[in-house]
Amino acid sequence: MSAEALRTALFWLFAALSLALAWSVVGNRRLLRAAAALMGVLGCSAGFYALLGFGFLAGVQVLVYVGGIVVLLVFLVMLTRTQALLEDEPTPWRHNVGVVAALAFFATNLWALAGLPDAPVVGPALGGDTRAIGRALLDVGATGYVLPFELVSVLLLAALVGGIAVARKVDPASQSAEADHG
């Protein structure tokens, strides 16, 4: 089997797998299983990145997205578990609205993108992207990303502080005392 045929086979395998798992993410009545399916979808996307030649991106996807964000989501599912563990099936009205909106978006998107000429998708050699991404993130030139990079670090700090400020338990007595001082 040639490398190109292998790439094609892997692409369609990841595509079919991620679509099936994505359907499980939105349709499964048990949220914990939906979160596990989301892990699978994101892992397939890491496979997509590797197929495109962005090995560093695939590693970040697995380490940060699958290993960090989805674990946080699993905690969230467990922390907000209601007595009705299962989510109801959507009512026919909500289901129909969802199907119509999703299909309309899909059709519009394909209509907009169909004008693009089809081209072979060839990324960099696998693993060759790490140095380039590092240089781009710290490049102070006109095509560099040092300002957004620093802004993202401020955003993460703000989200951290904001998350603590919103979720911490406030004693009602101290809260009224603070209000008196303010």
Partner 1 sequence: MAENLASGATGLHAWLLVTSALFSVGVYGLLTRRNAVGILLSLELCLNAAAVQFVVFNAVRAPARVDGAVMALFVVAVAAAEVVVAMAIFVLLYSRRRTVDVTDLTGDGPGHAGGAP
Instruction: Tell me the two tokens of residue 64.
Output: 């940060």
Sign of the Cα torsion 58, 33, 84, 93 reads positive
Contact flag: residue 163 with partner 1 (CB under 8 A): yes
For residue 7, state whether it binds partner 1 (rule: CB under 8 A).
yes
Cβ distance to partner 1 smaller for residue 15 or 180: 15
Q: Applying CB under 8 A, which of residues 13, 67, 124, 150 lies at the interface with partner 1?
A: 124
67 is an interface residue for partner 1 by CB under 8 A: no
Beta carbon nearer to partner 1, 103 or 177: 103
Q: How many CB atoms lie within 10 A of CB 42?
A: 20
Other residues' Cβ atoms within 10 Å of the Cβ of residue 128: 13
Does 6 participate in binding partner 1 (rule CB under 8 A)? no
What is the smallest separation between the CB atom of 98 and partner 1, expressed in angstroms?
4
| DSSP assignment letter at 115 | T
**68 is a site residue for partner 1 (CB under 8 A):** yes
Classified as helix, coil or strand, 117 is coil
**Which conformational region is residue 144 in: left (phi greater than 0), alpha (psi within -120 to 50 degrees), or beta?**
beta
Q: Which of 6, 13, 97, 138 binds partner 1 (CB under 8 A)?
A: 97
